[in-house]
Amino acid sequence: MTTTEERPVGFGRMPRKEDARFVRGHGTYVDDVRLPGMLHGAILRSPLAHARIVSVDTSAAEAHPKVKAVITGETLAGLGLAWMPTLSYDTQAVLATDKVRFQGQEVAFVVAEDRYAARDALELIDVEYEPLPVVVDARRALDPDAPVIRDDKDQQTDNHIFDWSAGDKERTDEVFAAAGVVVEEDMLYPRVHPAPLETCGTVADMDAITGKLTVWSTTQAPHAHRTIYAMVAGIPEHKIRIISPDIGGGFGNKVGIYPGYVCAVVGSIVTGKPVKWVEDRSENLMSTSFARDYHMHGEIAATKDGKILGLRVHVIADHGAFNATAQPSQFPAGFFGVFTGSYDLAAAHCAVTGVYTNKAPGGVAYACSFRVTEAVYLVERMVDVLADRLGTDPAELRMRNLLRPGQFPYRTQTGWEYDSGDYPRALRLAMDIAHYEDLRREQTEKRRRGELMGIGVSFFTEAVGAGPRKHMDILGLGMADGAELRVHPTGKAVLRISVQTQGQGHETTFAQIVAEELGIPPEDVEVVHGDTDQTPFGLGTYGSRSTPVSGAAAALVARKVRERAKIVASAMLEVNPDDLEWEKGRWYVTGDPDQGRTMAEIALAAHSTLELPEGVEGHLDATCVYNPPNLTFPFGAYICVVDVDADTGQVKVRRFIAVDDCGNRINPMIVEGQVHGGLADGLGMALMQVIAFDEDGNCLGGSFMDYLLPTSVECPSWELGETVTPSPHHPVGAKGVGESATVGSPAAVVNAVVDALKPLGVRHVDMPLTPAAVWRAAQGRPLRTDMAIT
């Protein structure tokens, strides 16, 4: 197979088409949209985590000279819109009617002439609350005396949401009973937030004359949003147009529908004017989709000489006050079932219990690939805990236990079929780049001097590209994606896709896929996305599914056009289509390469008076819906090197080596950028990010003053490597990759820090590894970083 570097047209390091507008400030993000007569909305939010609403007095706000409407839960109840369905078949309050259930929850919506007046009016609304006891600690949510948060739901008498399990419990118990070594560890993957730099927002415009609703929105899944609006509001789908313009990062934060979007739509209906709603940072952090919050108990079984045999896991999943988690319907714990990782196990079992707490809804976000972040963190920490017990080097223990190339396709103990992999090669490459043995020698010397240096290894298998329609859907919508390709008479093309970029470079890479398949320059392929009136139906961009699903659709629709072009070329050359052969960009006569027609020539002929065979319609257009046969399973080997200051607990990430294998790389430059960004996410989660709460349910991570993101100073210079193991079932052998680095890196950082603290007897520290947390762990007094110190 030729490498991606050698092919001039199509795949390769093509600089991005998107950049021209962004470097000059000419992108169009939601808050840049201005419509005639547009009004501005703002949300009044609950100051309390759990309280009964006694009364809401909006009279003073309504008297404000610039206020056009004040909408409350009662207003919405009259329209049947006070509650909305979530992506997990639960309900979520749009504006609270009975109770507030988390701090920052939406209580009222003001529409005013400008954003300053809207904010002024919020302060004129008087809400009387009757405080209720709160549930903050998920592990206490099912206590008999815990207050019932969802007393709005029939038959809900406690805070239990679901129980879900995977694997064979009996067999796993047998393997554990017979194992020579069993170790266990409790670990929390704390609540974090994706915090895209652009917050969520919308401009809703209900045209009373045409009856058409147009919604500009920060959505990663515009078609799904349209269908849900149609179902909820009763507006027919052809009268709803969702436009997802340029999005300033999504990271899973912009998959679902938020109350603010619904309020803006209602605001537009009520006032007859377009209504813009753009949340501020604090609102984004406090009320939109959080990520993680898995309390995990892991057990790992092995033989005494280090053959890993089994994993047994129990999880309490904190879902907040409404179960709005975004994942395929049959997977309430997402794809956590891939927690068996990159190892050949004899047995495995996991059980996940979801509970309600008085916190914002969410769970699946922030490049998690539907809970794969949690799964990978669990197994990669457990392997390190085992290595520590056995006194084995963690890289060596992994190398011994990794799946071998000959075992693929490999069926895991929880039923996933990994498509392809050469794991030992990737780990060896990472160790070579790191000079692993030298690092261990350096560490030994430093330990002798009392200095704390740590080396962390993480090896992950991702699961991306949801997914096969037969068992993957969101609210009943099967997870297939469409593509439409139209080649114009002069050989320029338009590709319309159902997925929605938020910075991942689809406008460039999808043009490259068509270029690769048709042999026309990527510059001549315009990629259209994000407008439901203009693009085919599909489920949007998240779970690194664009390349596996929509990328496959783009390749196949181009192949359909290529086959049509073959028939046109055969008519032009007056030969049988079977006598034609394809070379990039051209059909030619077998045995006579001079006799051929380029795609541009064929495109013109397809639109001309040329007589075509019976049944051939002419033109060069095609559509395709791709239903993937399986997910793609990219993988990677990461090594992190840290220095820890024993006196302050400060962690310095000195080096980070990341070897990723996502099969064939459409644009290596863009893949590397995706990896860089994901590594920064992982480092941020491991070292500084947490949405913590105090005992009253006050959110302690509600601004960038407390919710810390890595800057250019904390991030090291990333060192990347690649191997290429194509996906056998994907049309161009490509796997998804966008979330790999976020999934794989936190365990490497934590493993490194715990490794550094090993001389002090530390075996585990929960994220985030802030100086305080590390210092306390070193003192033998671990800190619970998701809760305020009381």
Partner 1 sequence: MTHISVTVDGTAYEDEVEPRLLLVHYLRDRLGLTGTPIGCDTSNCGACTVELDGASVKSCTVLAVQADGGEVTTVQGLARDGEWTELQRAFHERHALQCGYCTPGMIMAARDLLRENPHPGSDEVRKALEGNLCRCTGYQNIVRAVLAVAEGETAAGERTGSAQEVTA
Instruction: State the residues that interact with partner 1 by CB under 8 A.
Output: 13, 15-16, 18-29, 31-32, 34, 114-116, 195-199, 246-249, 251, 280-282, 502-505, 669-670, 672-681, 703-705, 709, 711-713, 715, 717-720
Q: Least distance to partner 1 from the beta carbon of 26, Å? A: 6
Residue keyed to tokens 């992994």: 398
Minimum distance, C-beta of residue 702 to partner 1, in the bound complex (Å):
10
How near is the Cβ of 503 to partner 1 at its closest, in Å? 3
CA 404 to chain centroid, in Å, comes to 29
3-class DSSP state for residue 568? helix
- Report CA 206 to chain centroid distance, whole Å: 31
Pairing mode, strands 83-85 and 347-355: unpaired
Q: Two tokens at 772?
A: 């305080």
Pair 480, 509: CB distance under 8 Å: no
Nearer to partner 1, 352 or 641 (CB): 641
Rounded CA-CA distance 674/658 in Å is: 12
DSSP string, 218-243: --S-HHHHHHHHHHHH---GGGEEEE
- Least separation in angstroms between residue 137's CB and partner 1 is 28
- Nearer to partner 1 by Cβ, of 286 and 296: the residue is 286
Give how far the C-alpha of residue 351 lies from the chain's centroid of Cα atoms, to the nearest Å. 23
Considering the complex, state which of residue 508 and residue 727 has its C-beta at the smaller distance from partner 1.
508
Q: Is the dihedral of CA 679, 684, 690, 691 positive or negative?
A: negative
In angstroms, give the least distance from the CB of 125 to partner 1.
Answer: 20
| Residue 682, helix vs strand vs coil | helix
| Smaller CB separation from partner 1, 343 or 718 | 718
Identity of the residue, 196 or 697, whose beta carbon is nearer to partner 1 in the bound complex: 196
Q: Select 35 or 79, whichever has its Cβ closest to partner 1.
A: 35
Q: How far is the CB of 33 from partner 1 (least distance, A)?
A: 9
**Residue in 118, 114, 111, 96 with CA at minimum distance from that of residue 47:** 96
Minimum distance from residue 106 beta carbon to partner 1 (Å) = 18
CB of 683 to partner 1, least distance (A): 9
Minimum Å distance from CB 504 to partner 1?
Answer: 7
Is there a contact between 358 and 101 (Cβ–Cβ < 8 Å)?
yes
Whose Cβ is closer to partner 1: residue 301's or residue 659's?
659
Q: Which is nearer to partner 1, 386 or 747 (CB)?
A: 747
Q: Which CB atom, from 73 or from 746, has the smaller least distance to partner 1?
A: 746
Identify whether the C-beta of residue 604 lies closer than 8 Å to the C-beta of residue 491.
yes
Residue placing its CB nearer to partner 1 in the complex, 485 or 749: 749
Do residues 728 and 419 make contact, with C-beta atoms less than 8 angstroms apart? Answer: yes
Alpha-carbon torsion angle 46, 51, 56, 62, nearest 10: 0
Q: How far is the CB of 717 from partner 1 (least distance, A)?
A: 4
Distances (CA, A) of 4 to 55, 119, 548, 666: 64, 52, 17, 7
DSSP 450-501: T-EEEEEEEEEE--BS---TTT-EETTEES-EEEEEEE-TTS-EEEEES---
Comparison of 218 and 413: residue with beta carbon closer to partner 1: 218
User: Residue 113 Cβ, how far from partner 1 at the closest point, in Å?
Assistant: 12
To the nearest whole angstrom, how small is the minimum distance from the Cβ of residue 28 to partner 1?
8
Rounded CA-CA distance 402/264 in Å is 51
Q: Nearest CA to 336 among 277, 389, 283, 292? A: 292
- What is the token pair recorded at 643? 């220095």
The 10 Å Cβ neighbour count of residue 529 is: 23
| Shortest separation between residue 159's beta carbon and partner 1, angstroms | 32
d(CA 451, CA 433): 24
* Shortest separation between residue 204's beta carbon and partner 1, angstroms: 18
Query: Could you give the 3-state DSSP secondary structure of residue 460?
Result: strand
Q: How far is residue 581 from each of residues 529, 561, 573, 592, 739, measured CA to CA in Å?
A: 33, 15, 13, 10, 39
Amino acid at 593: P
Element (H, E) at 291: strand 290-291
For the beta carbon of residue 35, count every other beta carbon within 10 angstroms: 15
- Residue 54 or 713 having the CB closest to partner 1: 713
Give the pairing type, strands 362-363 and 290-291.
Answer: parallel
CA distance 503 to 505: 5
Rounded Cα–Cα distance for residues 60 and 58 (Å): 6
- Comparing CB distances to partner 1, the nearer of 100 and 680 is 680
Residue type, 452: L
Shortest Å, Cβ 735 to partner 1? 19
Answer whether 749's CB lies under 8 Å from 463's CB. Answer: no
Q: Which C-beta is closer to partner 1: that of 195 or that of 765?
A: 195
Phi then psi dihedrals of residue 644, to 5 deg? -120, 130
Question: What is the Cα–Cα distance from 220 to 250, expressed in whole angstroms?
Answer: 7
Nearer to partner 1, 250 or 726 (CB): 250
The residue among 198 and 755 lying less far from partner 1, judged by its C-beta, is 198
Q: Is the Cα dihedral 408, 414, 416, 418 positive or negative?
A: negative
**Shortest gap between Cβ of 272 and partner 1 (angstroms)?**
22
